[in-house]
Amino acid sequence: MSFSSATANRPDAALLALRPAIEGQPAAIPTPATIADFQQQVLRPLLKLQHPVLLATVTDFALEYRLPLATSDATTAHRLLTELLERNARLRATLVGVVTGLFTHEELAFYRQHRNELNRRLLDLAQQRVLSSLDELLPAPAR
């Protein structure tokens, strides 16, 4: 089975309709021409869409690896999550899959040509999102 035949039946219009608008970003062009365009028009909206899934995935990995997030202060939790996000290859592959699974046919073709750079950017953006949402990951302090 070739790449073209495997992705020919993807519901590209439905995938595009799912994406949230990013404030201050111009309307998307049909096919991003550069890696920077792809980051702005594809990766950022998909990361915004998948935000709850990213947080749930990181939380699951943190629990699996018994990171003491519930008993840690914000600085320690930030450090622990940074290490997890930077060093755990399985988590990184999972985060990439959470986003790339929502690519259209053309986006997937572009991604395959620039996989290394786009994965780096995607993981950097995902890490920023997760670390800026520590309050959503950490339990509320006991009163």
C-alpha distances in angstroms, 53 versus 34, 44, 86, 94? 27, 14, 18, 11
- Establish if 103 belongs to a structural domain: yes
- Establish if 117 belongs to a structural domain: yes
- Establish if 28 belongs to a structural domain: no
Q: Which domain holds residue 68?
A: 34-137
C-alpha distances in angstroms, 67 versus 17, 34, 74, 78, 96? 37, 38, 13, 11, 22
* pLDDT tens-digit profile, the chain (143 residues): 455 555 556 677 777 777 777 776 655 556 778 999 999 999 999 999 999 999 999 999 999 999 998 888 889 999 999 999 999 999 999 999 999 999 988 999 999 999 999 999 999 999 999 999 988 876 655 43
